[in-house]
Amino acid sequence: MKRYSAFAIAREAMRHHTGWERAWKSPEPKKEYDVVIIGAGGHGLATAFYLGKNFGITNVAVIEKGWLGGGNTGRNTTIIRSNYLQDESAAIFEKARSLYETMSKDLNYNVMFSPRGVIMLAQTESEIRGYKRTAHANNLQGVATQYIDAQKVKELCPIIELSGPRYPVLGGLWQPRGGTARHDAVAWGYARACSDMGMDIIQQCEVTGITRKNGKVTGVETAKGYIKTKKLGIVVAGNSGHLADMAGFRLPVESVALQAMVSEPIKPCMDVVIMANTVHGYLSQSDKGEMVIGGGTDVFNNYTQRGSFHHIEETVRALVQTFPMLSRLKMLRQWGGIVDMTGDRSAIISKTPLGNCFINCGWGTGGFKTIPGSGWAMAELMADGEPRALAAPFTLDRFKEGRFIDESVAAGVAH
Ligand SMILES: Cc1cc2nc3c(=O)[nH]c(=O)nc-3n(C[C@H](O)[C@H](O)[C@H](O)COP(=O)(O)OP(=O)(O)OC[C@H]3O[C@@H](n4cnc5c(N)ncnc54)[C@H](O)[C@@H]3O)c2cc1C
């Protein structure tokens, strides 16, 4: 595949952009693969990419029922941070964040990583205590965060109103190298690199059944016929329960809609990402100028990938006291995605009761930021058949054994 470069842009400009290749091929499925991955979201594609890059395994198919990146990967609000509390989480989230730093170069695809800084606002006394504790934990884990006072928050984000009265801004947890990236580009960049390694990305091809023999997966039934495989990875976020059911095991995961919206575009007014977790809303400004706004999950299990009016009202109401300028903005678009929530709000990267079947799910409301780290760890698990250090704590067994990785504070909020 031809490399993207400034020279290539100049060359194509001279010939009216007629020489660009398709970014990835659209092949028909082969009869058999060494590895089949179900789900061409960020996590599935990153798993395939690191299987090829780190282990030389390239006889791989990534099977997607819709279009690649059309699930939560293309629906999220793109916040990247690694300021989680527990050591196990900090390791994988910081690995992912550091891979974002070099992703555009590694994939030869501009994913527009923008480490503009992330502030989690402290608006109650208990949040001050909680974020000071997280900052101390992060410093021990090698994650650069610090607790800042309200004046520093105002300096970093002049449009904020500190005084309340309901929830004044008292300070915040600041991660200077957190930020955002372009979500579609992350999926497209991985897809292009996988296709370049000879892997097949098969879109519009729903998996409808998983066949098994003697405690192992033998293949998958799909809309494009039966495909045999030596190893299977299930990486389907909100649909994980359905796929596990097809494979004959159960997951401790609930599916719930999470919504977000953008305002009309306005002039640049905010160059950090802000989360207000007490009132449960967060916002950043996109490169187009839209305010990207998210809130909490729906309070009931469901599979609806769309927005609803109560969400606009609740989220804007939550944020408007701290960001009064929001009251004068028109909302332009709203959407939803189905997120996969575990009880301890941490992910599952695990072997399953079937010897050659592996699952990656449970990233819930916050898995965009972990795409590269999760793909890295899942590739290790699928290549070796056993987890290495990054994935080892995130097994399914932890729910039986009570080894929870409690991130209900850091990840129980929606981003
Ligand atoms: C509104 C919203 C805001 C969010 N904001 C953030 C944020 O700011 N920061 C952050 O870190 N995270 C955020 N998230 C969470 C993040 O988007 C997800 O955790 C992450 O994208 C999950 O990626 P994935 O690859 O596991 O899943 P997905 O991108 O959903 O990919 C799974 C794929 O599997 C496919 N699939 C399902 N069933 C089948 C089948 N039977 N056969 C074939 N294919 C199948 C689906 O079509 C889908 O494309 C947000 C999520 C939402 C919905």
**Which amino acid, one-letter code, is at 217?**
V
If pLDDT is split at 50, 70 and 90, which confidence band does 415 have? low
65 Cβ closer than 6 Å to some ligand 1 atom: yes
Question: Of 298, 307, 308, nearest to 255 (Cα)?
Answer: 298
| CB 47, CB 233: distance < 8 Å | yes
* Mutation pick for ligand 1 pocket among 62, 67, 72 (CB with most ligand atoms within 8 Å): 72
Question: What phi and psi values does residue 174 have, to the nearest 5 degrees?
Answer: -110, 120
pLDDT band at 414 (very low <50, low <70, confident <90, very high): low
3-class DSSP string for 288-317: CCEEEEEEEEEEEECCCCCCCHHHHHHHHH
| Structure confidence by residue, pLDDT tens digits, 378-408 | 999 999 999 999 999 999 999 999 999 998 7
Residue 164 — very low, low, confident or very high, per pLDDT cuts 50/70/90? confident
Which residues, other chains included, contact 330 with Cβ-Cβ below 8 Å and sequence gap of 6+? 263, 264
Closest-lying ligand 1 atom to the alpha carbon of residue 78:
8
Q: Cα(77) to centroid of ligand 1, in Å?
A: 11
Q: Is the pTM of this model over 0.95?
A: yes
Mean pLDDT, all residues of the chain? 95
Q: Work out which ligand 1 atom sits closest to the CA atom of 364.
A: 19
Q: Whose CA is nearest to atom 4 of ligand 1?
A: 76
Q: Are 259 and 294 in contact (CB under 8 A)?
A: yes
CB 113 within 8 A of CB 186: no
Rounded to the nearest angstrom, the distance between the alpha carbon of 72 and the centre of ligand 1 is: 3
Residues 6+ apart with CB under 8 A from 23: 188, 191, 192, 195
The residues near 246 (Cβ < 8 Å, ≥ 6 apart) are 207, 208, 209, 210
**Is any ligand 1 atom within 6 A of the Cβ of residue 233?**
no
Query: What is the pLDDT at residue 217?
Result: 98
- Is there a contact between 179 and 285 (Cβ–Cβ < 8 Å)? no
